[in-house]
Amino acid sequence: MRVAVVFVAALLVSTGAYAADPPPLARARTLYNAMDYDGAIAAAALARTQPAGADAAALVDARAHLEKYRHGADPADLTAAREALNVIRAAMLSPRDQVDFLVGLGQSLYLTDLFGPAADLFDTALERGTLLPDRDRLMLLDWWATALDREAQAAAPERRARLRARQSARGAAHAVPARSRQRSRELLAGGCRARGGGSRHGVGCGGRGVDSRDARPRSVAAARRHRSPRLRGDHS
């Protein structure tokens, strides 16, 4: 599967300068970052009718549907997210949008229990992590570490040891500066406490526990405890 990730990464080639977002696309991003996913989907649908920014709008559409699936577990949202991801021409995206695209691809795999391939895509996104604000990079780091951990749980002992070693080595390589990491954790802690969750990795809102009464797929129920990196916007 790592070969497939390398192939995806090879498609992420910049095609030149990028104009400012058309108003519907800018609104779609703003609504997504405000966690108004239905509003983001509606604005993205309008933006996708305009040639300028159609691929970026499909990305907003996909990420918003992934968030809806993550919280509601409606299979129609996952299907819609995959359909939007499939039509995106990665080379038409800005470098930052390409990172957001890799995150969306990784989440779509994680949410169907394909943890190893998801971890590879998150890892590829983290290699471009300097394009993300530290807070969002920490969120992505939590998705990567959790995906790798879930993959290790199901692996044979020998492979599990290799995955743990990789997690440790790559985690150090992906770490953000200490002062930024502390500040980001402080910012994230409020949201974690509000949802009653903590992180076994010390970042984000990931967690091992899943309520056994939750009828959603296991990976979806667990993923509710994460926070997704924001899309490119005024904060970037």
The DSSP line for 71-127 is HH--HHHHHHHHHHHHH--GGGS-HHHHHHHHHHHHHHHHTTT-HHHHHHHHHHHHT
What is residue 202's predicted lDDT score, i.e. its pLDDT? 33
Question: What percent of the chain stands above pLDDT 90?
Answer: 49
The predicted model scores a pTM of: 0.75
Q: Please give the angle made by the CA atoms of 212, 142 and 37, to the nearest 5 degrees.
A: 75
183 CB burial (10 A radius; 0-12, 13-18, 19+): middle
pLDDT band at residue 210 using 50, 70 and 90 as cut-offs: very low
pLDDT over threshold 90, residue 225: no
The per-residue pLDDT for 149 is 87
C-alpha span between 209 and 94 (Å, rounded): 37
Q: Which two tokens stand for residue 228?
A: 């997704």
Cβ–Cβ under 8 Å, residues 40 and 32: yes
The pLDDT score that the predictor gives to residue 41 is 98
CA torsion 102-117-122-162 (nearest 10°) is -160
At which residue do the structure tokens 């991003």 appear?
A: 29
For 30-56, what is each residue's pLDDT tens digit? 999 999 999 999 999 999 999 989 999
Q: What is the pLDDT, as a whole number, of residue 26? A: 96
CB atoms within 10 A of CB 197: 17
Whether pLDDT at 185 is above 50: no
- Listed by start position, the domains of the chain span 2-11+22-223
How confident is the model over 123-171, as pLDDT tens digits? 999 999 999 998 999 999 999 989 988 888 888 888 888 878 777 777 6
**Candidate CATH numbers 3.40.50, 1.25.40, 3.90.550, 1.10.3470; the one for domain 2-11+22-223:** 1.25.40
